[in-house]
Chain A
Amino acid sequence: ETGVTQTPRHLVMGMTNKKSLKCEQHLGHNAMYWYKQSAKKPLELMFVYSLEERVENNSVPSRFSPECPNSSHLFLHLHTLQPEDSALYLCASSQEWGAGSPLHFGNGTRLTVT
């Protein structure tokens, strides 16, 4: 059973909709991440939060807006998305904020933009 829970598991939205993805970790970790997984592409890091402070924004378009209200919760707010944004969005957490600390992933949200 994963210690990182993502909701919803599936989401279909139109290009003018606004929706949010939610991630919750039950592991007591200090860092949380959003990744994008598209077909035939390596995983892309989107955002990193450490102790609720954003420490990485990997050139992500502004139509993706992260929020980390506390160390256990992470949101990804979506608006005015494009069809190419359809992908699996993975949340992860890690104990330490530094190299060598393995990530624990949720099962992802499968997003389809129509």
Chain B
Amino acid sequence: AQSVTQLDSHVSVSEGTPVLLRCNYSSSYSPSLFWYVQHPNKGLQLLLKYTSAATLVKGINGFEAEFKKSETSFHLTKPSAHMSDAAEYFCVVSAGTGGYNKLIFGAGTRLAVHP
């Protein structure tokens, strides 16, 4: 069975400091992994995806994530936070079974960025 755990429900950083949002996954198959972001009153937007190519994945807005199979982790990072990064972030694993695109969403991490 597939599952995903976001280790922090809230993260608070100062503008200009690094961001680390942690995600661990469990999958019986070679997983596809995603990070999505949701700004207030908006839908979810894809930040980046991992699909068994390079283990370091670069996304939009300066975010990147590293797939570590030995640690079953897919943490999201950004070198320098911007005020506009304040949002909720979701780590997602693709179940990869049944022929359809069933995604398992984490509970989300709310990122606050302070001046």
Contact pick for A90, options B32, B43, B100, B102, CB 8 Å = B43
Q: How large is the interface on A (under 10, 10 to 19, 20 to 34, 35 or more residues)?
A: 20 to 34
Give B residues with C-beta under 8 Å from A: 32, 34, 36, 41-46, 49, 51, 90, 94-97, 99-103, 105-108
Total inter-chain residue pairs, C-beta < 8 Å:
68
Which residues of B are found within 8 Å of A103, using beta-carbon distances? 44, 46, 101, 103
Q: How far is the CB of A67 from chain B (nearest CB, A)?
A: 19
Which residues of A are found within 8 Å of B32, using beta-carbon distances? 99-100
The B contact surface, by secondary structure, is loop
Contact pick for A99, options B90, B95, B105, CB 8 Å = B95
Which residues of A are found within 8 Å of B107, using beta-carbon distances? 41-42
Which residues of A are found within 8 Å of B51, using beta-carbon distances? 100
The 4 closest A-B pairs by CB, nearest first: A105-B43, A99-B96, A100-B32, A43-B105
Which residues of B are found within 8 Å of A6, using beta-carbon distances? 43
Which residues of A are found within 8 Å of B94, using beta-carbon distances? 99-100
Q: How far is the CB of A33 from chain B (nearest CB, A)?
A: 8
A66 near B: Cβ within 8 Å? no
Complex: chain B residue closest to A110, CB-CB: B41
Task: Give bound CA distance, A55 to B105, whole Å.
Answer: 19
In contact, B43 and A98 (Cβ under 8 angstroms):
no
Also in contact, A107 and B42, with CB within 8 A (given A43-B105, A97-B100, A99-B94):
yes
